[in-house]
Amino acid sequence: MSRWVPCKRQDFIRGVRKIGFNGPFSGTRHQFMLYGRQRFTAIKLRVTLYGKVI
C-alpha cells in the first residue's frame, strides 16, 4: 500500500490528466474536471483518488 503524502495541486492535476480527465474548468465555487460525462470538483478528486494518481 502506498503512503499518503502531500502533493502540489499542479502535480495532482497533471497526474489526473494522464489517466484521462479533462480540465480544470472554472465553476461557480470550485474548479471541476471532466471524465467522460462525469463532473468532479478538484476537492472531491483529491479525496477519492489521492495516492493512486501519481
Residue 32 maps to a domain: yes
Per-residue pLDDT of the chain (54 residues), as tens digits, is 567 777 788 888 888 899 899 988 987 788 888 999 988 876 655 555 555 544
Residue 26 maps to a domain: yes
Residue 1 maps to a domain: no
Per-residue confidence (pLDDT) for residue 48, from 0 to 100: 54
Question: Largest alpha-carbon pair distance within the chain?
Answer: 36
Query: What is the span of the domain harbouring residue 42?
Result: 9-49
> Count of domains in the chain?
1
The rounded distance, in Å, linking the Cα atoms of 37 and 50 is 21
